[in-house]
Structure 1
Amino acid sequence: MAIRPKESVVPFVVHGEGTGVAQKLTAAGDAGHVFHADAFPAFGGADAAPSPLFYALGSLTSCNQVTAALVAKDLGITLGAWTFDIQGDLDTAVLVGGADGNANFDRVEVRATVETDADEAQFERFVSETARRCPVTQLFQRSGLEFVNDWTRVPLTADASA
């Protein structure tokens, strides 16, 4: 029986505290993961930790990889090593200068390479289903920015298929 939406809601909770533009963030849960955010000096920070914008883009890579692993299992395909390159183009006129407009990224491009045993048709379905099911991809796509999602498949190495 398929899981019905809303019956499987899991809350993700983060607590943040800080001064200036630097923050210490703690993820709720037994592990209590701690991470830090800061900003570039041009934005009032000391660049002592990644910018929240890097975290946003980083969450896009890791959420895609987690989602893709779930999708691959459902499709019966094997995955090996990954590479991701993501670029977000941000016009800082709203953020820094207070200009009217949208503070969002103008454009985000995902370039992913994955080792897989999927054929071309399976890979197209795999990429499409991963984009549909990935919560962070959906946040970016539905935000109205230009979103490019370019994935390349390469053959599994001997290590990955063993």
Structure 2
Amino acid sequence: MSSSPSTTQSTPAQLKRVRARSIWEGAMRARHQVRKFAAFETAEPVPVGGDDSSPSPMEYVVAALGGCLAVVAETVAAEQELGLTALEIDTQATMDTRGFLGTADVSPHFREVVVRARFGLSDPSALPALQREVERRCPAFNLVKDAGVPVTLDWSVTGGPR
């Protein structure tokens, strides 16, 4: 159940810090450590000078958006007792690489994002309300949206798990 705006404003902030340590390894690569988890790497594709040995940082951003949407959808579906049985999210973002390369005065971040989500739900008619609440509560979705990036959501209900 969502809080009313007056309740939200009168409740003290519950702040959470999210941290990562990143160490540059040369050749467009970096190693990252988050909490107790195994370190992971980012790299750039060969056309921009990397060795294509790992996903790029922006590919991790796209994956993080899909992961965040999945977590929030699971949370909201459980709260609303919607019987979530499956969820697949495909996220695609478009960037103008001239911004990163410095060859044009364009933003280096995403120009648009398309999220295709397929839900297995016991009550398919609940999808619009679920989507509205997930959009409202997903930190990564709101970060991208608040950056002014157009986000297209293509959400539908499938027959269930495969």
Normalising by structure 1, report the TM-score: 0.87
Tell me: CA distance 1:69–1:38, structure 2 relative to 1, closer, same or farther (3 Å). same
Per-residue CA deviations over 1:91-136 (Å, capped at 9, x if unaligned) read 111111432121121111000001011232x210101101110100
Partner of 1:146: 150
Which amino acid in the other structure matches residue 76 of structure 1?
Answer: E
The CA RMSD over aligned residues, in Å, is 2.0
SS at match of 2:31: strand
Please tell me whether the aligned partners of residues 78 and 84 of structure 2 are also in contact (alpha carbons under 8 angstroms). no
Please tell me whether the aligned partners of residues 25 and 31 of structure 2 are also in contact (alpha carbons under 8 angstroms). no
Tell me: CA distance 1:5–1:44, structure 2 relative to 1, closer, same or farther (3 Å). farther
Please tell me whether the aligned partners of residues 44 and 52 of structure 2 are also in contact (alpha carbons under 8 angstroms). yes
Normalising by structure 2, report the TM-score: 0.87
What displacement does 1:5 show? 5.5
* Structure 1 stretches of 4+ moved >4 Å: none
What displacement does 1:19 show? 2.5
SS at match of 1:47: coil
| Percent of residue pairs identical | 25
Match of 2:75 among 67, 70, 74: 70
Alpha-carbon distance in 2 for matches of 1:32, 1:156 = 32
Structure 1: 5+ residue stretches without partners: none
Structure 2: 5+ residue stretches without partners: none
Tell me: CA distance 1:5–1:46, structure 2 relative to 1, closer, same or farther (3 Å). farther
Partner of 2:128: 124
Alpha-carbon distance in 2 for matches of 1:116, 1:60 = 21
Please tell me whether the aligned partners of residues 117 and 155 of structure 1 are also in contact (alpha carbons under 8 angstroms). no
Per-residue CA deviations over 1:39-91 (Å, capped at 9, x if unaligned) read 01122210111001110100011110001111111111111122121111111
Match of 2:21 among 1, 12, 15: 15
Match of 2:114 among 95, 109, 116: 109
Partner of 1:24: 31
